A and B are shown apart, each in its own frame.
Chain A
Amino acid sequence: MNKKLLYSLLFLGFALVFNSCKDDEPLPEPQPQPVTGIQPGQGVFITNEGGFQAGNATVGYWKYSDTSITGDLFQPANQQPLGDICQSMTIVGNKGYVVVNNSGKVEVVNLNDFKRVATITGLTSPRYFLPVNSSKAYVTDLFGGSVSIVNLATNSVSGTISIPGWTEAMILIDDEVFVCNTDHDKLYVIDSQTDLLTDSITVTRGAVNLALDANEKLWVLCAGDVPSAIAGGLYRINPSTHQVEQSFTLTASYSIKGLSMNPNRDTLYYINTDAWRMAISATQLPTASFLSGAANAWYALGIAPNGEIYIGDAIDYVQPSVVYRYSPSGILQSNKRSGILSGSFTFY
């Protein structure tokens, strides 16, 4: 009987010792306070995609005078998460139009306090938002097979323009809208007064960004198609004649993105693993990169009104990004933690 008791106690003791070898991790901090009083010229909005179907898309704000980036403007202001995959943001006056790709909506917010004014629904998988005049805007789409027309007064979809496949970034030049068609090799042209498709310009697969230079020429950056090894490229197009004036070839890569112009619009910048810059008058692609991003996963590039260059590093696409700020000559000024998968910079 004593032996049984001894063994039982030993056993219990062993179990208790095991039990005490626990160390628990603390839970994260509670929600931050809403940010108010955002004024023009004080900072930059950073859209953060988040993970696909992880519902953690955010819009962050880097106020130049702050030591850290405010990670999430939308949730504290509206008591609801923004949604899934925030692709882009466009500013019209004092309002922000935030495109949430996998939630099928565009959130319209007051830039001052990021409170929601309206939500544009009825979209399939929107990508970019472009106002074409004071009363309407176009929204491109990944799966919808069309560009939606939005009535800016009612914040609702009033019609669609059928374009096959995936439409991406757009630019408005003299009442004509040029639309990237990523899974085809064309740039489509829409007459913004009639909402009709008028022309297409052949480039290559993977068109992602557009920019207008100081000579009023349109530049298109194409990433190519990696699975079928179709090369990407950089094209200079005359927007009046719709002719391709110059083209440069790039090896297809998922890292090609972020086409931007400096404030003088005489130099263009883009990411292709590293950050590259090229004068608009150049006759060949640069041989050396401007800034090296090889050890990282550079995902976003933006240029501030004062010429500073902002680069978003996705790290592993799951953790919060790091945003680097460089002087116009390429000297690192500062870096801060941002949201998950920072994808674009919208300077305000």
Chain B
Amino acid sequence: MRYTQLSYPVAVFLALVLCSTLQAQDTLHTYNLMDVVIEASREESGSRGLRNDEPDSLMLAQSDQASLATVLNRSGIQIKSYGNGALASIAIRGANATQTSLIWNGINLQSSTYGQSDFSLLPAFLFDRVSIQPGSTTANWGSGAIGGAVLLQTDQPKENLHIRAGALNGSFGENGQGLLLSGRHKNLSGSIRGVRQRVVNNFPYQDNLSPGAQGSEKQLQHAGFFQQATMGDVWWQPKPTLGFSAHIWLQDAIRDIPPTLVQSFSNAVQTDRVARVLLKSTVVPGGYQQHRITTRIAFLNDKLVYENGFSETDSTRVNTLIAETEWRYITPRYTLFAGVNNTWQQAEVTGYIPLRQLNRTALFALMDIIFQQNFRLAIQARAEQVAGNLIQPVGSIGIDWKPLQWIRILGNISRNYRLPTFNDLYWNPGGNPLLRPEKSWNQECTIEAKQAIKNVEIRYGITGFNRQVTDWILWAPLNALWTPQNILQVWSRGFEHRFNVEYAIGKWQIAIQANYDYVRATSQKPISPNDQSIGKQLIYVPAHRAMGLLTIRYGAWGVSYGHQYTAHRFTSSDHRTYLPEYDEAIATVFTQLKIKSISNQPALVDVFIRINNCWDERYQSVAFRPMPGRSFQVGMRIDLQITKRLLNSTIQQSNQ
């Protein structure tokens, strides 16, 4: 008797808990320590006041077998591409690739050797969420985030079983496949996904260089690319106050390097291999409901081998171990974070022997305050010690203010730095162990306005930014020896417009997105007595970029047209040579079919046909590396989700 009397309230309580967790998808996360959506996370609080850009969700869904280089390029981010599938580096607001951080589930993946990431080697299929922070801060992400950050997230599965399979076929021998399996059961969930991409890249280009050529068409040779990757994720929550997750990422890529337009041939080949493991735990320490302690441990192994085709091989092997603990204290009015991060890096590089290693420890603290419902302020600071030397502490202040319901103002001021890479410090010959970190002052302000009138929703945002970078590291000759020096000073300023209109009526849905970016990034200090580049725009930084995307949907069918404009880019620092402006347009026709499945929901089948570079524009992103002209793609994705109804069965069980 006593048993059932006690068990009934417990059962109701459990039922309510489970009811709320299963039915209301948002509140699911309140009890889910692994997910960082509702409770203020360091990602969100540390980025207070900065604008966050996300790729168009439809475009992302149709880019299963594309790399992030393609996705970011189509989102209006400046990508410097050496060819289709070739090295693709990011340049935000006139900063270079080493000044942009790549963050995976909260871990900074920045390479210790060359300090930059190749976005062609990041398959979009592996990530559930991608976001770009053009104005990110070192205080949040650590060394390197002077010129922005790209954030990659894998989300915990929501459905009990989810299967996604995708395939793509395209011109120039392109084909790709992807498979995702994920599921959850009680307090355990996981996903595993694999993706494969291959392209031959024998596209035609205009040969203006070979004797007698005079603009005849030639096929690009020795430009193939093959990549395969696997990602596995597991989440386990044995108790409401304890959660664990483990993530593993394995990837292999091999690339033939084609000759440039001024070389007769190339036999160069590059292989990249990656193994990344991340373990995470979150604890609500005994009885202290407002406290959270999150620990992350990551082990990253990277190997790059470059064979120049003349029996010379250069290899780079890097091991990184990151251990970070973060304590969080949550109250209704503010959230406090404090923690420590230790990063150990080791590199074995052909360009310098012996093995080099470096250990760094950083302390960070962040306070995110809610003043009123519509005003938030975050202050953060970080101090790092590198091999016994204390780097000048950095920090940021960010605000997020909604003076009226339809206007939002963001602002952020930060001080940032980037440590020199191992290649800068130790390369033989020329490495400079006395290099200082690059430093910057960044300011950013965004005003966003949103209005909904009947069936039309309009959003418009404008961001102004200003960034001063000093001690920018540049390899330059000193007594006939090339050596990196802290000699460049760059002032970047400009503004970015973001405009969105969405209109829905009946079965029709029309969406327009328009972006315009203006960047003026100039060299401010002479680097040599006869330097002619003072006050001039840095090379490969276009002053203007614009992007437009029109999507029209009627029921299950749709068509989209995207158009991008990139202004001319100077290719020599004294502006004697340049690459001309170019346009690139993409047209897609797509549809979604619903097919009956064994689950209570139909399986969704998305099919699309795409024309890349519709107007067959022949252009170069990097001088003398041709980009493909018009090409075609056909893609398909099958998505099947199964949600079991646990609610009734759970209440029945607890009543017994």
Contact = CB atoms under 8 A, between A and B. Distances in A.
A316 B483 CA distance: 11
B428 A319 contact: no
Contact of A81 (B209, B520, B573, B576): B209
B208 A320 contact: no
A143 B572 contact: no
A10 to B, nearest CB: 10
A296 B478 CA distance: 8
Contacts of A320: 532, 574, 576
A317 B477 CA distance: 7
A53 B260 contact: yes
B388 interface: no
Given A11-B447, A80-B209, A315 B480 contact: no
Contact of A318 (B260, B464, B543, B573): B573
Given A22-B518, A143-B310, A102 B262 contact: yes
Tell me whether chain A's interface is mostly helix, strand or loop, or mixed: loop
A288 interface: no
A66 interface: no
Contacts of A298: 480
Contacts of B537: 25
A54 B623 contact: yes
Interface in A93-147: 102-105, 116, 118-119, 121, 124-125, 143-144
B310 A54 contact: no
B449 A8 contact: yes
A18 B464 contact: yes
A125 B310 CA distance: 10
Nearest to A51: B572
Nearest to B518: A22
Nearest to B526: A316
A316 B209 contact: no
B429 A227 contact: yes
B455 interface: no
Contacts of A15: 462, 497
Contact of A319 (B214, B264, B520, B532): B532
Nearest to B261: A55
A107 B99 CA distance: 41
A7 B407 contact: yes
A1 interface: no
A121 B213 CA distance: 14
A67 B84 CA distance: 46
Contact of B572 (A14, A24, A273, A318): A318
B534 to A, nearest CB: 11
Contacts of A226: 429, 481
Contacts of B571: 54
Nearest to A18: B495
Nearest to B462: A15
A81 B575 CA distance: 18
Size class of the B contact interface (CB-based, 8 Å): 35 or more
A319 B209 contact: no
B265 interface: yes
Contacts of B407: 7, 11
B354 interface: no
A340 B341 CA distance: 46
Contacts of B530: 313, 315, 319, 322
A19 interface: yes
A81 B497 CA distance: 39
Contact of B480 (A83, A102, A253, A319): A253
A298 B208 CA distance: 33
Nearest to B622: A53
A317 B520 CA distance: 25
A119 B570 CA distance: 30
A227 B530 CA distance: 29
A104 B265 contact: yes
A314 interface: yes
A200 interface: no
A99 B531 CA distance: 29
A55 B464 contact: no
Nearest to A56: B577
Contacts of B404: 7
A174 interface: no
Contacts of B497: 15
A254 B568 contact: no
B476 A316 contact: yes
A81 B464 contact: no
Contacts of A153: none
Interface string A221-259: 000001100000000000000000000000001110000
Contacts of B576: 28, 320
B529 interface: yes
Q: Identify the interface centre among B308, B479, B480, B573: most chain A CB within 10 Å of its CB.
A: B480
A295 interface: yes
A84 interface: yes
Nearest to B308: A143
B489 to A, nearest CB: 15
Contacts of B531: 315-316, 319
B578 interface: yes
B653 to A, nearest CB: 56
B527 interface: yes
A288 B575 CA distance: 39
Interface in B188-221: 208-209, 211, 213-214
**Max chain A CB contacts within 10 Å: which of B263, B481, B568, B578?**
B263
Nearest to A79: B214
B533 A319 contact: yes
Contacts of B577: 28, 56
A101 B623 CA distance: 18
Contact of B477 (A24, A124, A227, A316): A316
A149 to B, nearest CB: 19
Interface in A1-45: 4, 7-8, 11, 14-15, 18-19, 22-25, 27-28
Contact of B575 (A25, A79, A273): A25
A55 B572 contact: no
A297 interface: yes
Contacts of A23: 520
B260 A296 contact: no
B146 to A, nearest CB: 22
A104 B263 contact: yes
A154 to B, nearest CB: 15
A97 B601 CA distance: 74
B464 A273 contact: no
A297 B479 CA distance: 6
Contact of A55 (B211, B262, B518, B575): B262
Contacts of B329: none
Given A116-B211, A255-B479, A319-B574, A14 B265 contact: no
A144 B265 CA distance: 13
B260 A84 contact: yes
A340 B537 CA distance: 19
B528 A84 contact: no
A28 B570 CA distance: 9
Contacts of A313: 530
Contact of A25 (B208, B429, B536): B536
A268 B476 CA distance: 30
A19 B462 CA distance: 10
B449 A11 contact: yes
A28 B211 contact: no
B624 interface: yes
A124 B310 CA distance: 9
B351 to A, nearest CB: 9
A340 B530 CA distance: 13
A27 B623 contact: no
10 contacts: A18-B464, A25-B575, A28-B577, A53-B262, A81-B209, A105-B264, A226-B481, A255-B479, A319-B530, A319-B574
Given A18-B495, A19-B518, A144-B310, 10 more contacts: A27-B578, A55-B262, A102-B262, A104-B263, A121-B264, A253-B479, A255-B479, A316-B476, A319-B572, A320-B532
| 9 cross-chain pairs, A with B, having the tightest CB-CB distances, nearest first | A255-B480, A143-B310, A55-B262, A104-B264, A84-B262, A119-B211, A254-B480, A55-B624, A83-B262
